[in-house]
């Protein structure tokens, strides 16, 4: 037995000491020194801390200084990591570094500029493609794949004809990243070399020309090139089109072991290979591969493609999943099941009623709800009986209620008749919901019973669907509003908007004053929904309460109904709860008070608040806020927030 | 079907991450949309922004969050998963534990046990181990999902959970149940207990006994680095000196802690808490 002890007490002590340091200017020297530590953990922590430090020219300068230390590989790498996270402030000095006499520093500069991905670095990187040092040239090519830029594509294409496989691979990968395939004649010679083959085939899949697919089809026919062709298919960024699929299908039709080969490819760890195989299955339409197609979603990245291919296999594919002594669906992984279930629900047909009913009784928790959802879409009266049984199962009763409602769109009389028998017995919440949805006004006697039921869940369900009772709805809701159960009053608050602002006023006023904040919050939503402008003073009052949920609902209603003055908006835009602030910024951008708060919120610690501030300024800002936006754009390191800020700046500039 | 904007995806990720450490990757957006769409329909919510507010502000938000975690967290598990590692455990780790143990009791923790297949597998392997004959085995499975734990306690499984078992194992360890399902035999069920524990809950973990072995396979991969660090710290506190930590085959502690030593056995690499001599 061998043991490697990772424990180094001294390094651990330095690591812990560093972990205590805040990334402030006062600790800059210590953090820079830590980049030279012999422990990579300490170096990495120092780089992380420096990445989070306030960006300044002196910080960039200090990090560039570390890059210049030959022989200090660890420190240089750590400094490069920190620079790559500092954002646009480093772009100009790094462009300067591309002209340094030391090729290592030029390579670092190209790598970091690539990681920053700023388009303004592209011209300098294009120039670096002519560097005397081959490593710098390759790094510049790879970086251009991340920055893009007007001349990047032409410059990268020119590299493909150089007699330098490393540079060619760099250029191919960069063109793939930019989704900018060169003309086919430039790629064809590169599939011959083992060094460039993989990258070249991947790019061929992105060429939007019929000739590219002819190449792929030819390659599929031969055992030796079949796997390479799969990479082209895996790189395809758009749907292949019926004609291409036909040709792919023809190409594989002569292959004896096509199904076995595709089965192996669908289970491959290589994502591109799996992607290519999925495209091929869609072309050849082999329903027996349905479970393999669903399993290809493993890891999640290919779930969408898996589902679409599974759907393309049609009913035969889904039958292959559902039927048999032990249906394939029951034997699949959770990920595969999930994709297969989606396909079954989406393409449910009368043919599936029997296997879905069996699935409902299979004891598999996750598949029960799937079976119920699919039964609701089967368009068969035979689905009614299992769905009625499912109403008694607490795990799936809510889904069964929705499924019966869905089924009633096609078979209203049959579903109603079946439910009518059930509502003669004891009531259950989802039975009440289904009955109200299906029977409409005729549900009134049952709803009256529901409102007197001992179980609060049944009374709450009755209140929630009371609007189907027409003229009697107000009476039913009146009972619910004075119910001792919060759950029932919440049900009433959800439904009361249906009475309209005047008829429902007395009930809504009571609900808005409910001592339970969650009831008041739902009532605020109801006031908004029915346009109850008389409720504005109460909503303003509610917006000053402690409960954030109630405040948020009140603010939302105020924004829709209008009536909040500038002082109220200013107060709410500076609220302690970020969700309230975001909502006011999103909905109140035309108010000067909100615009002023948005400018302050550009410096908020939360990225989502900064995004909301940018969105507000995109709508409500003028020339006066332009400078603040520009500063925010320059210092922003969060990608989503940066994008929102750039859009806001463009909107303001164009105004 | 409602589509999730990049901001909504990230906000949902933040909520999940702070609740249980799970990182919802960008490429899981489609899966998240599909799996949560029925929840939006059931709750009558119009979009994922409203859903995220529901999670936070509604009185039933906590319940719903647990449901969302159940739907989104990959919980792939089945009996006798990663057989090479299990062989190493049986052939090399158990003999060492038997030799080192102070008494004749072994505490094993299956952290993030989902619906119970792993702790029951350990019960099957340890219960029949000749060197542990007559020993008191305490196998604890914990998970943050109440639904998963309820399934685990029920100990009844379908074909998917058995996909890596041999006919001999099925005959030896399971009784037949209805609908082609199976039930773990009482003898193997009896020595496994379950507990509701979020791995981020360090205080909760401190209530557990000192462990001889911790299994946490294919759980850490879904966490961010900081969460992994916290969880591994909790493992280090719970593991006795000389105790073993077994992770999934694609997981390691390289950037997380220096508190474990890496031990190369003939069949696998495992982690061990060093003895302070």
Per-residue confidence (pLDDT) for residue A430, from 0 to 100:
97
Query: How far away is chain B from the Cα of A223, in angstroms, using its nearest Cα?
Result: 32
Of A6, A307, A518, the CB nearest to B262: A6
Instruction: State ipTM.
Output: 0.85
pLDDT greater than 60 at residue A5: no
**pLDDT, tens only, B106-140:** 999 999 999 999 999 999 999 989 999 889 999 99
Q: Are A611 and B7 in contact (CB under 8 A)?
A: yes
Q: How confident is the model at residue A7 (pLDDT cuts 50, 70, 90)?
A: low
Query: How far away is chain A from the Cα of B246, in angstroms, using its nearest Cα?
Result: 15
Q: What gap in Å lies between CA A286 and CA A317, rounded to an integer?
A: 8
Residues of B in contact with A335 (CB under 8 A): 74, 76
Domain boundaries, chain A: 500-564, 568-655
> Among B9, B18, B31, which would you mutate to test the A interface (most chain A Cβ atoms within 10 Å of its Cβ)?
B31
Q: Are A518 and A489 in contact (CB under 8 A)?
A: no
3-state secondary structure A316-337: HHHHHHHCCCCCHHHHCCHHHH
Q: What gap in Å lies between CA A81 and CA B86, rounded to an integer?
A: 39
Q: What gap in Å lies between CA B106 and CA B134, rounded to an integer?
A: 11
Of A560 and A55, the structure prediction assigns the larger pLDDT to A560
Per-residue confidence (pLDDT) for residue B277, from 0 to 100:
66
pLDDT greater than 80 at residue A4: no
CATH fold of the domain at A500-564: 1.25.10
pLDDT greater than 70 at residue A8: no
Closest B-chain CA to A327: B159
Residue A88's SS3 state is: helix
Residue B207's SS3 state is: coil
Ranges in chain B annotated CATH 3.40.50.150: 83-272
Q: Are A372 and A390 in contact (CB under 8 A)?
A: yes
- Least Cα distance to A68 among A37, A96, A102 occurs for A102
Q: What gap in Å lies between CA B2 and CA B44, rounded to an integer?
A: 12
- Least Cα distance to B273 among B230, B222, B220, B234 occurs for B234
The residue count of chain B comes to 277
Query: How far away is chain A from the Cα of B54, in angstroms, using its nearest Cα?
Result: 9
Residue partners of B10: CB distance under 8 A and separation at least 6: A607, A608, A640
pLDDT greater than 70 at residue B148: yes
Inter-chain CB proximity A362 and B179 less than 8 Å: yes
Q: Are A294 and A310 in contact (CB under 8 A)?
A: yes
Size of interface A-B (CB pairs under 8 A): 113
Closest A-chain CA to B253: A6
Per-residue confidence (pLDDT) for residue B99, from 0 to 100:
87
Residue A156 Cα distances to A145, A205, A384, B252, angstroms = 9, 18, 63, 39
User: Which long-range CB contacts under 8 A does A257-266 form with residues at least 24 apart?
Assistant: A258/A284, A258/A286, A259/A286, A259/A288, A259/A289, A261/A226, A262/A286, A262/A289, A262/A292, A263/A289, A263/A292, A265/A227, A265/A230, A266/A292, A266/A293, A266/A295, A266/A296
Say which CATH architecture domain B83-272 belongs to: 3-Layer(aba) Sandwich (3.40)
Inter-chain CB proximity A3 and B261 less than 8 Å: yes
pTM of the model: 0.81
**Average pLDDT value for residue range A106-127:** 93
Q: How confident is the model at residue B6 (pLDDT cuts 50, 70, 90)?
A: very high
Q: What gap in Å lies between CA B72 and CA B69, rounded to an integer?
A: 5
Inter-chain CB proximity A331 and B160 less than 8 Å: yes
Q: Is the dihedral of CA B8, B10, B14, B20 positive or negative?
A: positive
Q: What gap in Å lies between CA B48 and CA B64, rounded to an integer?
A: 13
Query: How far away is chain A from the Cα of B173, in angstroms, using its nearest Cα?
Result: 19
Taking each helix axis as running N to C, give the angle between helix A486-495 and helix A517-530, from 0 to 180 degrees, rounded to the nearest 10: 10
Q: What gap in Å lies between CA A245 and CA A222, rounded to an integer?
A: 18
Ranges in chain B annotated CATH 1.10.155.10: 6-72
Other CB atoms closer than 10 Å to residue A577's CB: what's the count?
16
> Among A8, A362, A403, A575, which would you mutate to test the B interface (most chain B Cβ atoms within 10 Å of its Cβ)?
A362
Tokens of A600: 């302050």
Q: Is A638 exposed, middle or buried (0-12, 13-18, 19+ CB in 10 A)?
A: middle
H or E element in which residue A126 lies: helix A122-128
Residue B269's SS3 state is: strand
Q: Are A629 and A645 in contact (CB under 8 A)?
A: yes
Closest B-chain CA to A12: B258
**Average pLDDT value for residue range B33-43:** 93
Inter-chain CB proximity A333 and B181 less than 8 Å: no
**Average pLDDT value for residue range A134-146:** 94
Inter-chain CB proximity B58 and A549 less than 8 Å: yes
pLDDT greater than 80 at residue B1: no
Q: What gap in Å lies between CA A648 and CA A631, rounded to an integer?
A: 12
**Edge-to-edge strands, sheet with B136-143:** A2-5, B261-264, B269-272, B239-247, B211-216, B105-111, B136-143, B192-196
Pick the CATH number of B6-72 from 3.40.50.300, 3.40.50.2000, 1.10.155.10, 3.40.50.10790: 1.10.155.10
Q: How confident is the model at residue A237 (pLDDT cuts 50, 70, 90)?
A: low
**pLDDT, tens only, A611-646:** 999 999 999 988 999 999 999 998 898 889 999 999
Q: How confident is the model at residue A544 (pLDDT cuts 50, 70, 90)?
A: very high
Tokens of A58: 């002196």
Residue environment code for A534-557, b if the CB has 16+ CB neighbours within 10 A, otherwise e? ebbebbbebbeeebbbbbbbbbbb
Inter-chain CB proximity B258 and A8 less than 8 Å: yes
Of B57, B76, B177, the CB nearest to A333: B76
Per-residue confidence (pLDDT) for residue A235, from 0 to 100:
75
Of A5, A363, A364, the CB nearest to B274: A5
Q: What gap in Å lies between CA A66 and CA A73, rounded to an integer?
A: 10
Per-residue confidence (pLDDT) for residue A382, from 0 to 100:
97
> Among B1, B29, B30, B259, which would you mutate to test the A interface (most chain A Cβ atoms within 10 Å of its Cβ)?
B30
Taking each helix axis as running N to C, give the angle between helix A429-439 and helix A444-451, from 0 to 180 degrees, rounded to the nearest 10: 160
Closest B-chain CA to A346: B34
Say which CATH architecture domain A568-655 belongs to: Alpha Horseshoe (1.25)
Mean pLDDT of chain B: 92
**Edge-to-edge strands, sheet with B182-184:** B156-157, B182-184, B174-176
Closest B-chain CA to A362: B179
Query: How far away is chain A from the Cα of B255, in angstroms, using its nearest Cα?
Result: 7
């Amino acid at each position: 037995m061998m043991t490697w002890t990772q424990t180094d007490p001294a390094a651990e002590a330095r690591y812990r000491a560093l972990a205590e340091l805040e990334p402030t200017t006062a600790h800059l020297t210590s953090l820079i020194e830590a980049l030279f530590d012999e422990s990579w953990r300490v170096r990495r922590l120092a780089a992380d801390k420096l990445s989070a430090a306030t960006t300044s020219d002196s910080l960039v300068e200090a990090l560039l200084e570390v890059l210049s230390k030959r022989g200090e590989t660890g420190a240089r790498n750590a400094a490069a990591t920190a620079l790559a996270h500092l954002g646009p402030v480093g772009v100009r000095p790094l462009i300067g570094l591309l002209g340094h006499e030391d090729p290592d520093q030029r390579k670092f500069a190209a790598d970091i500029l690539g990681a920053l991905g700023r388009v303004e670095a592209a011209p300098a990187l294009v120039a670096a493609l002519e560097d005397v040092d081959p490593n710098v040239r390759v790094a510049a090519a790879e970086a251009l794949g991340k920055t893009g830029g007007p001349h990047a594509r032409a410059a990268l294409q020119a590299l493909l004809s150089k007699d330098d496989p490393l540079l060619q691979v760099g250029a191919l990968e960069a063109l793939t990243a930019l989704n900018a395939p060169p003309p086919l004649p430039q790629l064809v010679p590169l599939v011959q070399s083992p060094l460039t083959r993989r990258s070249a085939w991947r790019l061929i899949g992105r060429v939007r020309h019929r000739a590219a697919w002819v190449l792929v089809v030819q390659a599929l026919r031969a055992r030796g090139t079949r796997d390479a062709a799969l990479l082209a298919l895996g790189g395809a960024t758009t749907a292949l089109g019926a004609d291409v699929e036909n040709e792919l299908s023809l190409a594989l039709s002569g292959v004896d072991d096509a199904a076995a080969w595709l089965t192996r490819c669908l289970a491959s760890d290589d994502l591109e290979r799996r992607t290519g195989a999925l495209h091929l299955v869609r072309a050849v339409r082999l329903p027996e591969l349905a479970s393999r197609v669903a399993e290809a979603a493993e890891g999640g990245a290919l779930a969408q493609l898996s589902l679409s291919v599974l759907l393309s296999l049609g009913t035969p594919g889904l039958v292959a999943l559902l039927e048999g002594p032990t249906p394939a669906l029951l034997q699949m992984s959770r990920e595969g099941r999930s994709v297969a279930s989606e396909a079954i629900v989406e393409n449910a047909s009368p043919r599936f009623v029997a296997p879905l009913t069996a699935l409902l009784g299979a004891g598999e928790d996750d598949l029960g709800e799937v079976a119920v959802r699919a039964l609701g879409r089967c368009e068969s009266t035979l689905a009614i009986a299992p769905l009625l049984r499912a109403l008694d199962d607490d795990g799936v009763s809510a889904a069964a209620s929705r499924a019966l409602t869905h089924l009633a769109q096609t078979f209203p009389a049959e579903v109603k008749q079946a439910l009518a028998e059930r509502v003669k017995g004891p009531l259950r919440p989802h039975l009440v919901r289904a009955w109200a949805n299906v029977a409409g006004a005729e549900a009134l006697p049952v709803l009256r019973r529901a409102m007197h039921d001992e179980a609060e869940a049944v009374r709450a369900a009755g209140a929630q669907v009371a609007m189907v009772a027409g003229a009697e709805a107000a009476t039913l809701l009146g009972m619910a509003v004075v119910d001792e159960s919060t759950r029932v009053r919440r049900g009433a608050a959800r439904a009361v908007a249906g009475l309209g602002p005047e008829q429902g006023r007395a009930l809504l006023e009571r609900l808005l004053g409910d001592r339970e904040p969650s009831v008041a919050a739902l009532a605020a939503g109801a006031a908004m929904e029915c346009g109850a402008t008389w409720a504005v003073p109460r909503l303003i009052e509610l917006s000053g309460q402690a409960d954030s949920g109630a405040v948020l609902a009140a603010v939302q209603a105020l924004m829709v109904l209008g009536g909040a003055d500038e002082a109220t908006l200013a107060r709410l835009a500076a609220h302690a709860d970020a969700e309230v602030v975001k909502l006011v910024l999103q909905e109140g951008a035309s108010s000067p008070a909100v615009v002023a708060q948005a400018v302050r919120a550009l410096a908020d610690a939360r990225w989502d608040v900064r995004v909301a501030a940018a969105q507000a300024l995109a709508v409500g800002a003028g020339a006066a806020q332009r400078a603040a936006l520009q500063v925010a754009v320059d210092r922003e390191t969060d990608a989503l927030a940066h994008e929102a800020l750039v859009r806001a700046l463009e909107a303001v500039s164009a105004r | 079907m409602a589509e999730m904007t990049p901001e909504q995806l990230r906000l949902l990720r933040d909520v999940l991450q702070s609740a249980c450490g799970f990182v919802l990757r960008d490429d899981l957006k489609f899966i998240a949309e599909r799996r949560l769409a029925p929840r939006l329909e059931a709750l009558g919510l119009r979009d994922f922004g409203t859903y995220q507010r529901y999670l936070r502000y509604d009185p039933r938000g906590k319940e719903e969050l647990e449901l969302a975690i159940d739907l989104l967290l990959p919980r792939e598990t089945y009996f006798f998963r990663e057989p090479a590692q299990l062989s190493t455990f049986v052939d090399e780790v158990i003999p060492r534990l038997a030799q080192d143990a102070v008494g004749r009791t072994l505490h094993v923790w299956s952290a993030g046990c989902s619906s119970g297949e792993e702790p029951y597998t350990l019960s099957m392997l340890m219960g029949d181990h000749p060197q542990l004959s007559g020993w008191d085995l305490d196998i604890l499975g914990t998970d943050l999902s109440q639904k998963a734990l309820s399934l685990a306690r029920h100990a009844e499984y379908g074909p998917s959970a058995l996909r890596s078992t041999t006919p001999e194992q099925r005959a030896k360890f399971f009784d037949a149940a209805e609908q082609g399902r199976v039930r773990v035999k009482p003898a193997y069920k009896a020595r496994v207990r379950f507990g509701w524990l979020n791995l981020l809950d360090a205080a909760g973990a401190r209530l557990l006994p000192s462990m001889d072995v911790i299994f946490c396979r294919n759980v850490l991969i879904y966490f961010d680095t900081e969460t992994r660090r916290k969880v591994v710290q909790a493992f280090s506190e719970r593991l006795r000196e000389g105790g073993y930590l077994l992770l999934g085959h694609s997981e390691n502690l390289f950037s997380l802690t220096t508190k474990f030593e890496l031990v190369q056995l003939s069949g696998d690499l495992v982690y061990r808490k060093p003895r302070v001599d």
